[in-house]
Amino acid sequence: MNLTLKIWRQSGPEDRGAMHEYQVKGISEESSFLEMLDVLNEELFARGEEPIAFDSDCREGICGQCGIVINGIAHGPEVTTTCQLHMRTFHDGDTITIEPWRAEAFPVIKDLVVNRSALDRIIQAGGYISVNTGAAPDAHATPVPKQDADRAFEAAACIGCGACVAACPNASAMLFTSAKVTHLQLLPQGKPENYKRVVNMLNQMDEEGFGSCTNIGECAAVCPKQIPLDVISTLNRQLGKAALKGV
Amino acid sequence: MSDTLIKGLYREGEKIADTKAPLDVPISQSWEERKFKAALVNPANRRKLRVIIVGTGLAGGAAAASLGEMGYNVEVFFYQDSARRAHSIAAQGGINAAKNYRNDNDSVYRLFYDTVKGGDYRARETNVYRLAEVSANIIDQCVAQGVPFAREYGGLLDNRSFGGVQVSRTFYARGQTGQQLLIGAYQALERQVAAGTVTEHPRHEMVEIIVSDGRARGIVSRDMATGKLETHVADAVVLATGGYGNVFFLSTNAMGCNATAIWRAHRKGAYFGNPCFTQIHPTCIPQHGDQQSKLTLMSESLRNDGRIWVPKKAEDCEKDPREIPEEDRDYYLERIYPSFGNLVPRDIASRQAKNMCDEGRGVGPKIDGVARGVYLDFAEAIGRMGKDAVSAKYGNLFDMYERITGDNPYEVPMRIYPAVHYTMGGLWVDYDLESNVPGLYVAGEANFSDHGANRLGASALMQGLSDGYFVLPNTINDYLAHCFNLPKLDESSPDVVEALQSAQARVDRLMAVNGSRSVDSFHKELGHIMWEYCGMERTEEGLKKAIGMIRELRKEYWQNVRVPGKSIGELNQSLEKAGRVADFMELGELMCIDALHREESCGGHFRAESQTPEGEALRHDDKFLYVAAWEWAGEDQPPVLHKEDLIYNNIELKQRSYK
């Protein structure tokens, strides 16, 4: 396949950045999107230009490190991570636009690489169960209904890639935060901290400069792990209960 | 040390031994005994002690969380943007634990036995026993953290069986067990960050270790976003940086996985144990072509229900597999190993797949003229259990397969082929997980300790968490308790300055070469050499050839590599890779030397000169019942081999048989 690529280049956080156009030839349909960029980078190298910086690590769709806006859609046209998007999705001769995640809370480091540490700080605000090592009761001491465990798993499958933020017109991290709240509130082990957790995590989300949720649903539409939109209503119910309890 | 140069490549030094495991008590009491004898640090004193941890996978993340929780001052470094991205997250299948929840006669002793046997008797008994012993606690810990393991309708945990064993002791969370366990450790870690006991350094790679007065006292890190080199001083250093499978370029490792931290430590005196021990995983998606950047593993739990076959006749290989009648299919694992069938250990499943493809009965696209793939067929399972049940068990793996290959595995059998997955060598450590450099601890895949020649499935996750949650927190005290009297080091101390300068010189040297080849082109070439000559099958002749080729390639690297961009002021991914590939080149040579000296077949490494009449791996316990611990002797100097005898007091050595 031969393609025209329009790619955002930005040398550092202070640089203004601009779109640049490149041509790539001979891309295999079996290649992943990032392998296509690898091929482009080898060509840029051969021409004496600097390769394009982009994040990736596991390239198996699970670590959450990759993330590019492709033709205006976070992770591109398929519901998957950028590393699991394959070139067979595109056609010979296509023009593809490639940009970084855009959100105030995700400053650009270089080219397509952004800083997502804000998501870690939301977790630090309460996205855990307070249990020390070495004193846990036998795992069978507390049964968990299968439907709760399955639903908790569904929410826990979030990989923290930030596509939800990139897709949201408000740049809200609500899907990410709700997924964690839902995962932990469904399990008996996580219940004691529910209300404090939801309040603290939401406050941190605001502090980081993420926008508010206005129920648009773009987040769930691009989520590569298909975290359901209704985790947000689960969070809102917890928030309501927290308010009633005066937390 | 002997003056003789053996095979023209290495010298032999004094024997070494693990002096920390209590051997005067029954093995079932060794760990209790060690914990009791280890010195303690008073809780009020812990905050005065600083521990550096490199890596936030299961071992590093769990260790950082646990040590922070105990009150130590922990600094944690990782190259990814978030601690949650460590490659442990990609482990799919499950984690073993001797819970005997299935009432199928499982026990700590049986898990211990299976693991030592599955490791082809090249792991240390005491370490493996402890691993089996704490396995049950790991599950308890993770459940308490909210890890959503698979459950049954009654609310209790579900289990499954994994390759190489005959009990159901594997706990799992669909096909994403590693992710869920890592998220558990990550959350525990972030809790400590919030509590102020742990400080995180994301996008930092360790580029040098600081050794002062013979002790590990800190690291030099490179801030990857700015290029700045920084020195960090501590009382002890823990390396939990994972494996070095990326030396093969194509592997199931994440793109960033590297050997730099352990290799830098090796060059500063830490012994490297069993470097040639690589686990080849049988169930990976075959290579598609030359633009490929990595290989993807499919959980080996698929072998529970999938049947592996190739056409009996080479001329059928290009046919649609659904058109090949039952009598023309060779279910070769079921045929050769009737009692274990498709669940034979990884090394056997891998080697037989290679044999089938080498015979010309492989399927799928041809790479360099050979089709390298075998079928993993679910048609029978779908017929027996129904499509929905198969989907409930393996659905996400099927989706992943379809996404990568474009084939629907519910309709057409999957194609799989072995790939480099896990490295069982690593820095040598004693029972305390301490290397031979005092104050330098190594955990998880980065050390060699609990692994034999070939691990069984579902034991890597177990080892990572065991080291991080339960072993280190109980052993590192013993060292830290004696740290109060160490002289204080600061930025200007000569050993700190020396480490910083050597890191800087390395960056400057790489930037200065300014040749014409890219880093990746060297990495790929190195990978080809390693896979061809130091992969699944090795010969004396091939290994010698490989060593020569690696030396040539390394020479060319330092004359002809070009690293574009700047070394300071901005992110430079080419420079990151350049430093790592330089280390892989040196490590690759040591792997070949280690493989050359080990004239036996052992688990995953098949030495063609050493096989039984049936073509199975032939171990030589009379000659190689030891850990090979290699000492760095200096630039372009032959390495020195120290042998640690493996002592089996509890398990009788047997030739493995799965027939």
Q: What is the ipTM of this complex?
A: 0.98
CA-nearest of B92, B163, B84 to B400 is: B92
Could you list the beta-strand ranges (E) of B326-444: 329-330, 366-367, 370-371, 374-377, 414-423, 426-427, 440-442
Are B179 and A31 within 8 A, CB to CB? no
Which residues from chain B sit within 8 angstroms of residue A143, using beta carbons?
151, 154-156
Tell me what pLDDT residue B395 has: 87
User: Which residues 188-247 in chain A show a CB within 8 A of chain B?
Assistant: 189-190
- Rounded to whole angstroms, the Cα distance separating B570 from B102 reads 55
Of B90, B140, B291, the CB nearest to A31: B291
- What amino acid positions of B are annotated as catalytic residues? 346
The alpha carbon torsion through B567, B570, B574, B579 (nearest 10 deg) reads 50
Chain B contact for A24 (CB, 8 A cutoff): no
Q: Quick: pLDDT tens for B234-244.
A: 999 999 999 99
> By three-state DSSP, how is residue A220 classified?
helix
Please state, rounded to an integer, the average pLDDT across all residues of chain B.
95
Tell me what pLDDT residue B343 has: 86
Tell me what pLDDT residue B209 has: 98
**Displacement of CA B443 from its chain's centroid (Å):** 11
- Rounded to whole angstroms, the Cα distance separating A53 from A10 reads 9
Res. B659: pLDDT tops 80: no
Helices (H), B224-268: 260-267
Which residues from chain A sit within 8 angstroms of residue B393, using beta carbons?
none
Which band of pLDDT confidence, cut at 50, 70 and 90, is reported for residue B454?
low
* C-alpha distance from B194 to closest chain A C-alpha (Å): 5
Tell me what pLDDT residue B458 has: 87
Tell me what pLDDT residue B179 has: 97
> By three-state DSSP, how is residue A118 classified?
helix
Are A145 and B194 within 8 A, CB to CB? no
What string of pLDDT tens digits covers the 247 residues of chain A? 999 999 999 999 999 999 999 999 999 999 999 999 999 999 999 999 999 999 999 999 999 999 999 999 999 999 999 999 999 999 999 999 999 999 999 999 999 999 999 999 999 999 999 999 998 999 999 999 999 999 999 999 999 999 999 999 999 999 999 999 999 999 999 999 999 999 999 999 999 999 999 999 999 999 999 999 999 999 999 999 999 999 8
- Percent share of chain B, pLDDT over 90: 87
Evaluate whether A215 touches A167 at the Cβ level (below 8 Å): no
Long-range (24+ apart) CB contacts under 8 A made by B384-388 are B385/B305
- List residues bridging with A8 in a β-sheet: A19
* C-alpha distance from B289 to closest chain A C-alpha (Å): 8
Q: Quick: pLDDT tens for B59-109.
A: 999 999 999 999 999 999 999 999 999 999 999 889 999 999 999 999 999
Which residues from chain A sit within 8 angstroms of residue B84, using beta carbons?
63-64, 120, 160
Evaluate whether A70 touches A98 at the Cβ level (below 8 Å): yes
Which of B35, B72, B84 to mutate against chain A (most A CBs within 10 Å)? B84
Kindly state the average pLDDT of the residues B116-138: 94
Tell me what pLDDT residue B164 has: 64
Which band of pLDDT confidence, cut at 50, 70 and 90, is reported for residue B205?
very high
Res. B453: pLDDT tops 60: no
Are B186 and A190 within 8 A, CB to CB? no
- Rounded to whole angstroms, the Cα distance separating B177 from A61 reads 14
The residue with greater pLDDT, B68 or B162, is B68
Kindly state the average pLDDT of the residues B25-30: 98
- Percent share of chain B, pLDDT over 70: 99
**Displacement of CA B133 from its chain's centroid (Å):** 21
Which residues from chain B sit within 8 angstroms of residue A132, using beta carbons?
69
CA angle B245, B246, B251 (to 5 degrees): 75
Which of B85, B149, B472 to mutate against chain A (most A CBs within 10 Å)? B85
Q: Quick: pLDDT tens for B534-547.
A: 999 999 999 999 99
Which residues from chain B sit within 8 angstroms of residue A27, using beta carbons?
291
Tell me what pLDDT residue B339 has: 87
- Counting Cα atoms < 13 Å in the Cβ hemisphere of B454 gives 27
Res. B475: pLDDT tops 80: yes
Res. B657: pLDDT tops 80: no
Tell me what pLDDT residue B485 has: 83
Of B66, B81, B291, the CB nearest to A65: B81
